[in-house]
Amino acid sequence: MSDPTENGRDDSGRFVKRAAESVHNLNTPSEDGIHPLSQILFGWTHRKGIGNIIFYALLALSLIMLSVDFFVVRHDYLKFANYSGFYGIWGFVCFSFAVIMGWPLGHLLRRDENYYDDAGGPPEGVDPDAPMADDLPAPHHSSEGDA
């Protein structure tokens, strides 16, 4: 684009639409295929060492929560729920169970590669020479105005 002048017009006399251009720039992916909005929101994840920072921040938060748990007095109905760290351990066990149960559930629900037979041909029992629904004339019913 040409350089805008002070009066808001470019060299050809057209008004410069800076807002529309900035929106266009925000919606146009760069040469490497990364959308600019994703670069704004998630660009920090590409920094070197960010994984270590997140790990140590979560470790520190977990240790703080565990140390606070020693000073909280609970009056739960079940005796074993009163122990320090019980809810953290219980959450970890339940989450691990949910993740591990994904494996047999995947085997139960997953179809094998040949479930749909040959991907290139028609399904079994279908005549490829039969007329399609678009080729057939529209049905005529006697209740459509015929007396």
In a domain, 122, yes or no: no
Residue 100 lies in a domain: yes
Which pLDDT value is given to residue 84?
Answer: 79
Does this model's pTM top 0.75? My answer is no
DSSP letter at 46 equals G
- Predicted confidence at residue 106, as pLDDT, reads 87
3-class DSSP state of 9: strand
pLDDT in tens, the chain (147 residues): 555 445 567 777 776 666 667 777 777 777 777 777 888 888 888 889 999 999 999 999 988 988 888 888 777 888 888 887 788 889 999 999 999 999 899 888 888 777 776 666 666 777 777 777 666 666 666 665 555
74 domain-assigned: yes
| Dihedral angle over CA of 50, 55, 60, 61, nearest 10 | 100
The set of residues, in sequence order, having a beta carbon less than 8 Å from that of 3 and lying 6+ positions away, is 10, 11
Residue 25 CB partners (closer than 8 Å, separation 6+) = 36
Q: Look at residue 115 and tell me if it is in a domain.
A: no
How much is the pLDDT for 61?
A: 95
Count of structural domains, the chain = 1
pLDDT at 93: 95
Does residue 77 sit within a domain?
Answer: yes
pLDDT at 38: 83
Residue 105 forms part of a structural domain? yes
| Residue-range definition of the domain harbouring residue 44 | 7-109
- CA nearest to 85, candidates 106, 108, 61, 62: 62
Q: Is residue 92 part of a domain?
A: yes
User: 29 in a domain, yes or no?
Assistant: yes
pLDDT of residue 145: 57
